[in-house]
């Protein structure tokens, strides 16, 4: 009696464990298939923006300090040709760092991104990418409307607007009328040519 009860209990635990694993796998697959393109773009832009801020912040601090010292020296020792050139040079570098810093802050927000303002169609195309995927391989993703590198969705373009494509061992270089995007890939050239002929029907393709 105890032996039978023990066997049933073990079987139930095994079935429960297998069921949990199956549900977890289904859940993962569901989440993969229901990625939100706009959310992925937002995260990528935040990462890029923070990276720009991290690079520009030390420039602002260091150059700002050197500029302050140079200006103080001009008051104490008088203005000379060398000091004027130093102040002008440091001023330009400081302005460059400041522009980078402001760009980094704007890049962390889709709403304020100058790039999105220039190409507002990116929002619609990125949404289409994960809602209507028709091809996906490595870093390349193609939907009903769009083609893009998965690692950099801000480079998404309308696949029907691609006019020229250059294929080399490491990159696909896509040209539209007003944009040029690079997609890193690991697909054989001939296979890449066949894929792009299918999904970018209006493009001329050149293999380097």
Kindly report, residue by residue over 87-104, the tens digit of the pLDDT: 899 999 999 999 999 999
| Position 207 pLDDT exceeds 80 | yes
Q: Which fold has domain 121-207?
A: 3.30.720
Nearest CA to 193 among 181, 205, 176, 182? 205
**pLDDT above 70 covers what percent of the chain?**
83
Q: Which helix (H) or strand (E) holds 149?
A: strand 146-149
Decide which of 125 and 77 is more confident. Answer: 125
Edge-to-edge strands of the sheet including 171-175?
Answer: 180-184, 171-175, 164-167, 204-207
Helix axes 37-77 and 81-107, enclosed angle (nearest 10): 160
Does the pLDDT at position 158 exceed 80? yes
Residues 6+ apart with CB under 8 A from 158: 121, 125, 145, 146, 147, 176
**Confidence category of residue 84, pLDDT binned at 50, 70, 90:** confident
Please tell me the predicted confidence (pLDDT) of residue 208: 82
User: What is d(CA 106, CA 1) in angstroms, rounded to the nearest whole number?
Assistant: 71
In the chain, how many H helices and how many E strands? Answer: 6, 8
For residue 94, the tally of other CB atoms under 10 A from its CB is 18
- What's the mean pLDDT when you consider all of the chain? 82
Q: Per-residue pLDDT tens for 24-78? A: 343 333 344 446 888 999 999 999 899 999 999 998 999 999 999 888 888 877 7
Cα(99)–Cα(63) distance, rounded to whole angstroms? 14
| % of the chain residues with pLDDT over 90 | 56
Place of tokens 């289904």: 26
* Average pLDDT of the segment spanning 123-133: 92
Average confidence (pLDDT) over 101-125: 89
Reply yes or no on whether the pLDDT at 7 is more than 60: no
Q: Can you tell me the distance from the alpha carbon of 193 to that of 205, in angstroms, rounded to the nearest whole number? A: 7
Residue 193 tokens read as: 């040519």
Predicted pLDDT at 87: 87
Alpha-helical (H) ranges within 34-141 are 37-77, 81-107, 114-118, 121-131
Q: Shortest CA distance to 161 belongs to which of 131, 121, 200?
A: 200
The confidence score (pLDDT) of residue 8 equals 42
- pLDDT beyond 60 at 16: no
Mean pLDDT of 2-17: 42
Find the mean pLDDT for residues 76-91: 83
Domain ranges of the chain: 37-115, 121-207
């Amino acid at each position: 009696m105890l032996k039978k009860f023990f066997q049933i209990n073990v079987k139930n635990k095994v079935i429960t464990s297998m069921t949990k694993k199956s549900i977890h796998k289904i859940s993962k697959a569901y989440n993969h298939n229901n990625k939100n393109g706009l959310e992925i773009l937002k995260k990528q832009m935040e990462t890029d923006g923070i990276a720009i801020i991290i690079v520009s912040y030390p420039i602002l601090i260091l150059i700002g300090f050197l500029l302050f010292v140079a200006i103080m020296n001009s008051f104490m020792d008088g203005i000379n040709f060398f000091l004027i050139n130093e102040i002008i040079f440091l001023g330009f570098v400081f302005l460059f760092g400041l522009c980078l810093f402001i760009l980094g802050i704007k890049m962390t927000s889709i709403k304020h991104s100058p790039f999105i303002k220039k190409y507002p169609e990116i929002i619609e195309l990125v949404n289409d990418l994960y809602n209507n995927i028709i091809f996906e391989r490595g870093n390349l993703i193609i939907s009903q409307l769009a083609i893009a590198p998965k690692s950099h969705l801000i480079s998404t373009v309308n696949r029907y607007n691609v006019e020229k494509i250059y294929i080399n061992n490491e990159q696909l270089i896509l040209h539209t009328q007003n944009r040029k995007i690079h997609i890193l890939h690991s697909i054989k050239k001939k296979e890449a040519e066949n894929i792009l002929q299918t999904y970018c029907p209006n493009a001329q393709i050149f293999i380097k």
